[in-house]
Structure 1
Amino acid sequence: MPARKRTPGIVLSGGGMRGAYEAGVVAGVMQVLGRKADDAPLFRVMAGTSVGAINAAFLASRSERGDHGAEELLEFWRSLRLETHAKLRLLGLMRLPKVVTGLFRSGTPSVPPGVSLLDTRELEKLVAKAVDFERIRDNVREGRVNALLIAALHVVSGQTTVFAEIAPGARYVPSTSGMRVARVEPISIDHVLASAAIPLLFPTRRVGERFYCDGGLRFNTPIAPAIRAGADPLLVISVSHRASADELQVLEREHDEAEGMELGPMFLVGKLLNALLLDPVKHDLQVLARLNDLVEVLENTLTEEEYERVQEVLVRTRGTGYRRLQTLVFSPSEDIGRLAGEHLRTVQRADELNPVLERFLARASVEGMSQEADWASYLLFDGGFAERLIDLGRRDALRRADEITAVFAER
């Protein structure tokens, strides 16, 4: 079969403050490849959900640079401050128990518009300052970016919407499954903030006439849209740690100990967010591996004419054929929830928080309980915590320098 043109892409998962880990991995990849500002852009397709949407939009806005402004992205994360970017809304705090109880009873991920724990205005200003959406327009128009794909959840229908900004002449084939809908239009700050609107933490966002919230509720790692935009090879960054057998044993003991504790709203919110933002990337990658194996068998056993007939059927039924895809996947080598708990206790000992925020976060971090530290990790908008995650992401990338070079080095 004829060789295809390489169109490198990146897929970035959602997970609140854990997005700093993604930034660290990207910086590590650029370091390994020795990318410079005057090189051609590495990634041509960017897809993101939730905080991954913010990172993806940032990279797209710097695609006139060969390093996508990776070091600038690190500075964005380092600039976060708890006192400024994690301001609690008293009304949201008062309504929290009722909202959480209702969510558990109804089993639906939707949250009434306007209900949020955090005042997000300063965070929104920071995103608006960091991401130049006019520059994204230019990079897409000039073909430096083939596609920027942002996933968000339509609140009323519960259906995932993939917002897609596509370069002239680039090909994007939306899914025909009915599980997701595509809207091809220029990406704005409203799209990005809608994708990042984690229920309970952030208010839902209006895009046009519709309300949207965090795309991670249904689609936390948008691999399929990136593939449908022609990405290959593909860098996938998840923010979910894969626990070892020993770590799972520790977690089981902690769960047993928690059975005797009084489980208040903060514990329930942590459980709720962990469930809602459950990352199915492992399953998606298993499916992708099986498809790669299937395509290899078809290529090696069918004649060219027979292979084309199979692809024609696939195009007719799903909009596009199957192809082998090279992927490189990163996930944190350490438990980010535990890192969040450790950092939170350090901040509390330093007496750096106002009393209300200190009490709130203290309830979200029980000594030794990684689940509730997981909850804290979503909103620890703190430059010191970001630095720990950046360092972890960079180290994870540098440890796999040979793999990065094999997949993404210029050929």
Structure 2
Amino acid sequence: MSKEKQKLGLVLEGGGVKGAYQIGALMAVRELLVEFDGVVGTSIGAINGAIYLEGGYSKLFDVWNEIQTNTVFDLSDEETAALKGLDLKPAILRVMLEKKLGTFKMLESSYEKSQKFFETIVNEEDIRASGKDYGLVTFNISDMQPVEKMMDEIDEGKLVDYIIASATFPIFPPKIIDDKKYIDGGVYDNMPINLLVKNGYDKMLVIRTNVESKQPKRKVEGNPDLFFIAPKEDLGPAMAFSSSRIHAYMQTGYDDAKELMDKGLREFLLARKRTE
């Protein structure tokens, strides 16, 4: 009986502009000519994962080189600071959206601009044509329920909507899909390892945007083989997009991943057991 090579998954944590760290780390991984069989992510991780499946490492790099502060978010330093420290617990989201959204009404145009930008760079047909597994996490505030979906569970024509929903920071207007309101999946699971576990993966590279000491919201199910790449120091606020931060985070991600190559990362990525 022939044996199949063990599938390798990629998990991308949410974190706004800190998603640039993941791009740098993946540039180091690319040097090993490694390709992933499945990718899941939350928020910016869902966007990065979709771009990877659509156009590979090169498109990820090109897209992030295009992103500038005024391209994605037209936020002043004061407005960015106002987004820090918001309580994103699901139990209070409904109240926050009703009260805080009025206070931050001036941010709506920024949200619309960022949404249009990501809609132009994410192509559903190309993602589905990749032949790889893809999943994301968002949160349905109409029903106050988390939504964890793999691509094959999402109706054709709605994949980009769900990707945008996963990355809709709660202070912005929610993404509406089939008359339901959705927001950033980070309020439930910002590092969706379990989504791949549930879909048969037991070996995953997890690229974080937060320091390793910051514990995820969900306990990992089963006993998957995991390797983490994480910043050594806090990268700062998620919404503080700027060209200088993006380039700094990409370089940090690359340097961290390169340092880990001789500490087990290279072997982890290249060694895959055969299964019946």
Per the normalisation by structure 2, the TM-score is 0.82
Counterpart of 1:129 in structure 2 is 120
Are the counterparts in 1 of residues 90 and 144 from structure 2 also a CA contact under 8 Å?
A: no
> For residues 387 and 6 of structure 1, do their structure 2 counterparts lie closer, same or farther at Cα, with a shift above 3 Å needed?
same
Q: What's the CA shift for 1:279?
A: 4.9
Q: Does the alignment pair 1:197 with 2:168?
A: yes
Q: CA RMSD in A?
A: 2.9
> For residues 407 and 191 of structure 1, do their structure 2 counterparts lie closer, same or farther at Cα, with a shift above 3 Å needed?
same
User: Please, which of 230, 234, 243 is the counterpart of residue 383 of structure 1?
Assistant: 243
User: In structure 2, what is the Cα distance between the partners aligned to 1:199 and 1:29?
Assistant: 32
Are the counterparts in 2 of residues 235 and 329 from structure 1 also a CA contact under 8 Å?
A: yes
Aligned-pair identity (%) = 25
> For residues 108 and 398 of structure 1, do their structure 2 counterparts lie closer, same or farther at Cα, with a shift above 3 Å needed?
same
Counterpart of 2:12 in structure 1 is 12
User: Please, which of 35, 43, 46 is the counterpart of residue 36 of structure 2?
Assistant: 43
Q: Which runs of 5+ in 2 are unaligned?
A: none
When Rg is computed on C-alpha atoms for both structures, the one with the higher figure is 1
Counterpart of 1:61 in structure 2 is 54
Counterpart of 1:72 in structure 2 is 59
What SS does structure 2 have at the residue aligned with 1:108? helix
Counterpart of 1:29 in structure 2 is 29
User: In structure 2, what is the Cα distance between the partners aligned to 1:191 and 1:335?
Assistant: 28
User: In structure 1, what is the Cα distance between the partners aligned to 2:122 and 2:23?
Assistant: 14
Question: Amino acid of the residue matched to residue 385 of structure 1?
Answer: R
Q: What's the CA shift for 1:88?
A: 4.4
Counterpart of 2:265 in structure 1 is 404
User: In structure 2, what is the Cα distance between the partners aligned to 1:405 and 1:137?
Assistant: 29
Per the normalisation by structure 1, the TM-score is 0.56
Are the counterparts in 2 of residues 220 and 279 from structure 1 also a CA contact under 8 Å?
A: no
User: In structure 2, what is the Cα distance between the partners aligned to 1:44 and 1:105?
Assistant: 32
Higher strand share: 2
User: In structure 2, what is the Cα distance between the partners aligned to 1:397 and 1:197?
Assistant: 28
Post-superposition CA distance 1:93-137 (Å, at most 9, x none):
7xx89xx7xx79995133437935351233223322322211112
Question: Amino acid of the residue matched to residue 122 of structure 1?
Answer: K
Q: What's the CA shift for 1:8?
A: 0.7
Q: Which runs of 5+ in 1 are unaligned?
A: 36-40, 63-67, 167-182, 244-277, 293-324, 338-376
Where relative contact order (Cα < 8 A, 6+ residues apart) is larger, the structure is 2
Counterpart of 1:240 in structure 2 is 210
User: In structure 2, what is the Cα distance between the partners aligned to 1:329 and 1:404?
Assistant: 9
Q: Map residues 1-400 of structure 1 onto 2, 5 A cutoff.
A: 5-31=5-31, 33=32, 35=33, 42-62=35-55, 68=56, 70-88=57-75, 108-110=92-94, 111-112=96-97, 115=101, 117-118=107-108, 119-139=110-130, 144-145=131-132, 147-166=133-152, 183-186=153-156, 188-200=159-171, 202-242=172-212, 279-280=215-216, 284=219, 287=220, 291-292=222-223, 325-337=224-236, 377-400=237-260
What SS does structure 1 have at the residue aligned with 2:181? strand
Are the counterparts in 1 of residues 23 and 61 from structure 2 also a CA contact under 8 Å?
A: yes
User: In structure 1, what is the Cα distance between the partners aligned to 2:188 and 2:90?
Assistant: 17
Are the counterparts in 2 of residues 24 and 389 from structure 1 also a CA contact under 8 Å?
A: yes
> For residues 104 and 218 of structure 1, do their structure 2 counterparts lie closer, same or farther at Cα, with a shift above 3 Å needed?
closer
> For residues 331 and 210 of structure 1, do their structure 2 counterparts lie closer, same or farther at Cα, with a shift above 3 Å needed?
same
